[in-house]
Each structure stands twice: as structure tokens, then as C-alpha cells.
Chain A
Amino acid sequence: MTAVRAVLFVPEMLVVLALPPLLMSVIAKTKAWFGGRVGPPWLQPYFDLHKLIQKNAVYSKTTTWIFRAGPIISLAALLTAATLIPVLSNDSLLGFSGDIILLAYLLALGRMFTVLAAMDTGSSFEGMGASREVTFGAMSEPALFLAFVVMAVATKSLQLSEMIGPKLLPEWQIAGPAMILVVGALLVVLLTEACRVPVDDPATHLELTMIHEVMVLDHSGPEFAFITYGAALKFTLLGSILVHAAIPHPEGFNVLSPPLRVLELGGLAVLVGAIESAMARFRLNRVPMLIAGATVLSAIAVVLVLMRRTV
């Protein structure tokens, strides 16, 4: 790591932290375009966050400190995870060998505390959302880890920035089908973890059909701002893993690379928006099928990549 890199990290991190609401805006605009509307202004998510942070918070009588700690710990876990994920360049800030496991478990830590905050309200709606969240979260975990196995075997590394970095380029030539399967699995994991259609519908206002939104019904004010921002950040982080795995950039620092990454993330947001416009949310009992399908994709990719390696 050179001095140039170290200097560039500060602006990079700032861009990474500023980007998530914009991606949400891209999704909203895409959906509006499909619906023949203009859609909200590009900066609307930032306005929303600003509005929320100015508001006062309302707390339920039943809640304890867990309810207040939930959003903070979840967002803190995501911020910590952000230092492990390469977003704009091929390197992450603090990556080390084995950081993928820490990354996945930091996301799980965030999930645990979001769920506990929901359970703290004593509301049946939020309990329902929490139950669905842990169910789909638990089921998507094997898909994610098997995808990690594919990339670890392909690059012989356990560090995320290497696993989805330039070392993956030759793998696309040797075991292209396996990589396509992995990218497909990662897309499903992204849609599940970030609570997008067809797993969850962030736009609906029927409490009974939602997962993530129903869990955070009782949060308000700055804490709700943390949650909204956290959801966008989670989308960005998982999205950049997907983008990096799908389109590995070549070795070395390239001036064009970071803007290209931003565009790729924007493209992913357009794709997610298109999916949301094109298909309806799955019936809840069909969602496990989707996630199991993703696990199967990853598992077949593992088989393919292990076979290619031994031959």
C-alpha cells in the first residue's frame, strides 16, 4: 500500500458513505420511469434523512435500552463492515485474511439487534417481521458462504479484497459458468438481505406483508434516520461485493476505475429497480424456495470450481 493510496482513502471513504442514499434514489427513479412518472427529486433521500435527524423521537412505554441501542449497534456494525469491503478501488481500508467471516457476522450482529429492538416493542406486527427476518436471514447465510467458498478456492485467499479482486479475472475464463452461478446467488442474497422485491417490498404500507419495514415501525426521529441510512449502506456494501465479483477490474490503480465502479453500482440499482417494476413480491411461503435456489446455485458453483481445480 503506497502513500498515494493512504491519502486517497479519506475521499474514497467519504464518497462511499455519501453514495448510499443516491443509489436508493436511482432505484426510485427507475421504478418511476417504468411507471411512466417523473419520480421524486434525485436528492430526496438526503432530504428525508435531514428531516428525520431534526425530528424528536417518540418511544413506546414498553421499550428498554435495547430498543434505543438497536439502530445504533446495527449501523455501527455496518460502518465497521464498510472498512472491510472494497467499494471504489480494488482494496479495502482494513482488510485482513479471514475478514469475510467477520464481515458476514457483522451483518448478522446488525440483524440481531434490529430484531431485538423490534421484539422490545411487544407488538405482534413487529414480532412477525422479526420472525421473517431471522428466517430468511438464516436461510440466505449458506448461500453467501458457499459463494465465498467458490471465490476463496478460485483465488486461494480469505481476504475479501483479494477474493473479489483482479485474481478473479482468470477464473472467469476457466470456470465462467461457475462464476455466473455465484453472481446469481449473490444477487438473491443481496435482494434478501437488503429487503427488496421479490423477498420484501420496501414500498408497501401493509404491515402484514412487510419484513424489514414492519420491524422498524416504532422507531422515529434520528434513530429512524440511522435505520434508513443503514439499509441504504447495506445495499451499497453488498452491492459492491456483487459488482466486484461480476466485473473484476485489472490489477493496479487506475484513475478510471472508481468512477466506473460508481456507474456499475448505479447499474445494479437500475437492475434492482427494474426487477421491482417487473415482478411482484413473492408469496411468503415461496420465498424460502428462492433462497434455497440461491443456495443450490452456489453449491453447484462450488462443485464446478472444485472440479476444474482438481482436473
Chain B
Amino acid sequence: MTLVLTSLALLAIGAATSLLLTRVPRLALNLGMLFAFVAAVIAVIAAGDVLIRSPSQSTYEAAWPLSLGTARLSLDGLSAWFLMTIGVLAACVSIYSVPYMSSAVGREPVPVFCALFCGLLAALILLVCAADAVLFLLSWEVMTLTAFFLIDFHHERPEVRRGAWMYLVATHLGTALFVLPLFGILFARAGTTAFSSFAGALGSADRTTLMALFALGLVGFGTKAGFMPMHVWLPAAHPVAPTPVSALLSGVVVKTGIYGLLRLLSWLPPLPLVCGEVLLFVGVVSGVMGVLYALAQHDLKHLLAYHTVENIGIIALGIAVGLLGEATNEPTLAVLGYAGALLHVTNHALFKGLLFLSAGAVLHGSGTGEIERLGGLARKTPANALMFLIGAVAICGLPPLNGFLSEWVIYGSLFSGSIRGIGASGGLPAVGVAALALMGGLALACFAKVFGVVFLGTPRETGLQTHSIPTGMKTAMAALGLFCVLIGVLPSLWVPLVRSATIELANVPMGEFSTRIDGVLAPAIRLSGMAVLFVLAIGGLLVLRRWALSRAARRDVGVAPTVATWGCGYTQPTPRMQYTASSFASSLVTTFRGVLWPERMFAAPAGSFPATAHVETRAPDFAEHELFEPVFRGVARLFAMVRTVSWRGESESPGVAQSAAAHRRGPVRTLTIGMVSALRRGSIQVRLLFIVLTLVVLFLCEALSSVDRVHTTTGQDYQHTLSVGVNR
């Protein structure tokens, strides 16, 4: 615990130092990031200590009371797991920030950046260690605000302001409307704000209360985590933040939502089955839609932001299986699900951090993140290409890197759910399996697109300058890449660390956990063997290739000749003839157009000597434009009626998309208009549709009413068995 306090103190000193040294920004940057680095490393040591040695928790209570609660800190398995994740990523990001931000020295307030960075880090550490609702909410708020200012760092650009505002509005709505009431209910039941008292107070809670608490947590924390309809701030805020901040946002800030949800679940007794089913559904939707939107993006960081939504969906799948396991009293399932989710939290932080940092290096070097303008970077920055490749292979969940490990555990939990017939008699986990498989395939397509277009081939634009990448940035990326490889190749060192956090979540005793986890996770050790085999196979093939080529070279003259790419007879290929990212993704985007609703603006070449032709595709976010925009516009209209004072430039309403987008016809509007006009014309099909819908509703009513019947009968059966037991 002293280590955590030391780390917090160091961060405070770091923030203060960089603010004091505003006159010497370079020194402020170096010192501030040094403090952040040391603090992060100390936090990792503190977390590692808890994870490796003792599952018992250590607490600290500050002498000074807060207005409602006490400043109580505690470090249990769950906190330590997230603390470790935060520490590892923050340490790498702080190394990376020094060279990345030094180019901005003199032009931008870098010392303020450092202070905010330290503040964000301190808030994150405080958040996961807080053992009191008031302290938790305080650090939650500090985290939100520091992150907001960091996102808004380049505030002179309008899209930055828009992204930052959307982040602030979204998370504050989530906090005010859902997280605060959640803690209000908890406080009302427990009488204190101490986390330790919540679990006991909820032991006797009825079904409705539990479900209400779960729903509040799901929406409130889900807004921060970015579950599907509440994800709208992610793709707006991630790309506009400075790269180190994007990496932190995607790697750990988003994960605090997951932490909040898991912390809530650790207090709740086993929830009704329906909670797990809902979360599974949320996970499937977030995952599949996240990766589909990612495919349709043209900007590197936008694409990565949507992949965060996808990975949050994967984590949600793991937690959902954990819930299902708890609800049906299947400890194996609970252990597997939660362990998979926790492993994926860390793994995602590592490879997504790596990818953001690598994308930042591309931005830093080429000055643009537009995929279509880049190309052939692997020749200019081979180290960065290797780093991005490691991140890409890891995020696709491909062996032998870390992404595979956690997806493997989650797959295992879903398969076991199906085998045991849990969740719509095993059907829902099967849906999860299919969705996870589809996500894997689509993520592969997406990263094949990004890596293939940005790093491979030849440069698409000659005008782009390319700086070399400073050593500091390379070091940070190399560290993250090394973690990705090590975790994937040596899971037996890594998986045991998740032990204490999983025990707390799954409510299983230690001994039981060991037997469960050994039975299920023991095969993870086999992955190391497979990795060795894989490397041996590569080595063998390399030797074979070298031998064959050298023999051929001895026979022919010289070594392997180098020529232009085979253009099927065309001998003058130009960079502009390369396949573009949009073309690469278009076959998938058109296949899934029914759920993605891509827009396409196309000016066909005309005449014998076509001058200009133009095609532009984009995939506007459904939730943003069809769900929140109408609501916010309605609210804005409502307030406009009340408002008496007006000022110039009021048309810019923060958080809501600009009015240009408002006039386009989204899918909902298109469908409604089409339906209504067809109905007015008297289309047979639409009339039939209404008959069919009536029939469906009748069927649903019948099915639901018989559900009640089933429930009551099982209740009676239960009582019957009880009474039989008593009689006996």
C-alpha cells in the first residue's frame, strides 16, 4: 500500500514540477514524464506484489474524513490487476511522450500537458484503489476532467473541440444519470459509503433491485467503456487526442468502465440469468458492429477507435459467460469467463497501446493518418512496421501472440457454456462463438487492409515527408511489443497472475479455483510448445529456402533478380494503380451493407475524355445519427423555447453533429418514409407485413405468458421438493 501512496505522491510532485517549470518546457517535459514513469513502475511493483504473493488485501485509511465518507484505499486482486495494466501502459506511454511532445515544445503548452498527464495517471490509480464510494466518484470525476483537457489539447481545431465535448457530455450523462443513482441505492441500503459494506447489504436484495442495479451499472459504466449504443464518444474523441493520450484512453481510461462494472458485480450476489444474457447480447453487438465500422474507416486512428469498441465487446462476452456461470452455479464457467475477460483487459491495453503509439509514429513521420494517402512505409520505417505488425497480429487474436491467449480462454468459456446447455439451453453461447469467429475474421480483414495499404506496396503520395522515428518512441513500442510476444509464448507465467482477481469475481474458494483452473487452463501451457514448434517450422523452411536458392544461384548467374511487379503484361505500374484501402474493404462493406448503411457519393467518368471522376464512401455511425442526434436535437429545441437570452454563434451546439449531417437521410428515416408512402399507395407487401407483425406479436405474447407459467410451475416444484425434503 505504501508503494501506491508513493506512486501517488510522485505523480503529485511531477504535476507540480512541470507546472512550476513552465518557462523551461523541455525540462518540464523530461522531469514530468520521468516522475510519471517512475510512479507507473512503482504502481506495477505494488500490483505485482499483490498478484504474485498474497491474495489477501491491504488497506489504507487516510486520517482526514471526506464530507460523506472516508478516504479509504485498498488493494485487492481486482484492483491490482487493473493497477498493473495501468502501470505497464502508462510507463511505456510516458517514455514515448518525451520525444513525441518535444516537437511541440515552444508552440504548445507542453508543461500543462505533463501536469494533466500526471493528474490523469494519479486519478486512474486512485480510482482502481478506492475502497469508498465518495473517493471513487471523486477520482472518477478527476479522471474525466483531466482526460477531457488532454483530448482538447489541440483545441484550435474544431473537430478536436467536438470530440472532447462529446466525450465530456457522454461520460457526464452516464455518470449523472446512472452511476450516481447506482451509488445512491447502494448507500441507502448499506448506510455507509465503504465498499466493504456493500456486499453484505446486498445479500438479501430481491430480484428487481439486483436487476435495477445491474442495469444502472451496465449503462453508466458502459458509457465509459463504450458498449455499443453508448460508444459514440469513442470514435469522436480517440482520434483527435494527442497520440499518448489516445493510447491511454483506449488502453486504460475505457477500461475503468469495465473495472466499475466488475467492481459492482463483485458486490452483487449471483444475478438472474437474464443479466448474463443481456450482457452477452451487448457484447455480440458491440463486437461485430465495432469491427464492421472499423472496416469502413479511412483514418488510422478512427479505425483503431472502433476496434476498441470491438474489443470491449469481446471483454463483455467473457464477463457475460462469467455471469451465466454464477447464475447457474457452474464455477468452471464463471472462472473461465471472468479470467478470459480480465486477461483480455490487459492484452487489449498492451496491443492497442502499441497500435496507437505506432499509428502516432506514422502521424509524426508523415503528417497524416489518412490511410489512402500513405503507402510503402515498411521501407522507410521498418522498425515501426514491425511494431505495427506485432500489434495487428495480436489484435486479430492470432497465435502466438497475447491476443490469442485471452480470446482462446473466452472461446473456451463459450464452448463450455454450450456444452453445459447454459443460456437458452446453450444457444446463446453458440451465438457468442459464431460472433467471436466473425469478429476474428473481420479484424483480420481490417488489419490486413491497414497494414497492407499503409506499410506495404509503394508510397501513394510523393509529397509526404517522412521523419525518422526517435529512439525513445521506438523503445516504448518495443517494450509493449515484447510484452505482447512474451504473454503469448509463455502463458504459464502470466495466467496464474489473474488468480486472485478471478476468485473475487467468481465467488469460488481458492482450492476450488485451483482445481478448476488447472483443469481448464493447464492446456494453455501447451501453447508454448506449439509456439516452439511453429518457430522450428519457420526455421526449417528458412534453411530449406536458403539451400534451394543458393543452389539455384550457383547454377544460374548471380542471386535472385529483382524486377518490377508482374502487372499481367502491363509493364509500367504506378503507385496510383495499387489497390486502395476502400476497394480492399468494399467487398465486405457491401456484403454487410444491410447493417452498416454505408453512404456512397459517386461521380462517374463521362464522355470520351473524362476529366474528373470522384467516389467517396463513408459509414456514418448508426447510434450517433439515428439514436442520440434526434434526442439531443429535441432537447436543444426544448431549451431553445425556454431560453430568452441569445448570443452570436449559438448555432454551434456542442456534442451534437453539425447541421450538414442533419439533412441527410439515415436508414431509419429512409425506411419510415418508404413504408409510409408504400402504405399510402396501398402496397400489398406492406399491408401483409403488418399482418405478419401482428402475428409475431401474438406469438410473442403467447411465448412470454407461457414463460410465466413455466416459472410458476418450477417454483411449485421447488417448494414441493423442499417440503418432501423436510418430511423426509
Chain A residues near B (Cβ < 8 Å) = 53-64, 66, 72-73, 75-77, 79-80, 83, 94, 96-99, 101-102, 104-106, 108-109, 111-112, 115-116, 118-128, 130-132, 134-135, 137-142, 144-146, 148-149, 152-153, 156, 158, 207, 217-218, 221-223, 225-226, 284, 288, 295, 299, 302-303, 306-307, 309-310
Q: What are 8 A-to-B residue pairs whose CB atoms are below 8 Å?
A: A62-B457, A105-B440, A108-B396, A116-B456, A120-B457, A121-B457, A141-B441, A309-B421
What is the CB-to-nearest-CB distance from A151 to chain B, in angstroms, rounded to a whole number?
10
- Cα separation A102 to B351 with both chains bound (whole Å): 19
A-B residue pair count with CB separations less than 8 angstroms: 271
Chain B residues near A (Cβ < 8 Å) = 375-376, 378-379, 382, 385, 389, 393, 396-399, 404, 407-408, 411-412, 415-416, 418-419, 421, 425-427, 430, 433-438, 440-442, 444-445, 447-449, 451-453, 456-458, 520, 523, 526-527, 529-530, 533-534, 537-538, 541-542, 544-545, 548-549, 551-553, 556, 560-568, 573, 575, 577-579, 583-588, 591
The reply to whether A79 and B537 contact each other, CB–CB distance below 8 Å, is: yes
- Cα separation A223 to B541 with both chains bound (whole Å): 10
Contacts A116-B451, A288-B591; A102 near B527 (Cβ below 8 A): yes
Q: Which of A64, A116, A221, A295 contacts B434 (CB 8 A)?
A: A295
Interface of A is mostly: helix
Contacts A61-B562, A96-B523, A132-B587; A139 near B418 (Cβ below 8 A): no
- Cα separation A266 to B545 with both chains bound (whole Å): 30
Determine the chain B residues whose CB is within 8 A of the CB of A284 once the complex forms: 587
The reply to whether A61 and B564 contact each other, CB–CB distance below 8 Å, is: yes
Determine the chain B residues whose CB is within 8 A of the CB of A222 once the complex forms: 544-545, 548-549, 552
- Cα separation A237 to B407 with both chains bound (whole Å): 23
Which chain B residue has the least Cβ–Cβ distance from A219?
A: B566
Which chain B residue has the least Cβ–Cβ distance from A225?
A: B548
Contacts A73-B538, A127-B578, A302-B430; A56 near B584 (Cβ below 8 A): no
Contacts A83-B533, A119-B452, A306-B427; A102 near B379 (Cβ below 8 A): no
- Cα separation A127 to B425 with both chains bound (whole Å): 43
- Cα separation A298 to B433 with both chains bound (whole Å): 12
The reply to whether A109 and B549 contact each other, CB–CB distance below 8 Å, is: no
Interface of B is mostly: helix
The reply to whether A112 and B421 contact each other, CB–CB distance below 8 Å, is: no
Determine the chain B residues whose CB is within 8 A of the CB of A58 once the complex forms: 560-563
Determine the chain B residues whose CB is within 8 A of the CB of A128 once the complex forms: 579, 583
Contacts A120-B457, A122-B573, A138-B588; A108 near B444 (Cβ below 8 A): yes
The reply to whether A101 and B425 contact each other, CB–CB distance below 8 Å, is: no
The reply to whether A94 and B452 contact each other, CB–CB distance below 8 Å, is: no
Q: Which of A106, A115, A130 contacts B399 (CB 8 A)?
A: A106
- Cα separation A223 to B434 with both chains bound (whole Å): 34
Contacts A116-B456, A119-B453; A102 near B530 (Cβ below 8 A): yes
Q: Which of B399, B541, B565 contacts A123 (CB 8 A)?
A: B565
What is the CB-to-nearest-CB distance from B569 to chain A, in angstroms, rounded to a whole number?
9
The reply to whether B444 and A131 contact each other, CB–CB distance below 8 Å, is: no
The reply to whether A115 and B564 contact each other, CB–CB distance below 8 Å, is: no
Beyond the given A58-B560, A94-B533, A218-B565, please list 11 additional residue pairs across the A-B interface where CB-CB is below 8 A. A56-B553, A60-B566, A62-B376, A63-B565, A64-B382, A102-B399, A112-B393, A119-B579, A122-B573, A123-B578, A309-B421
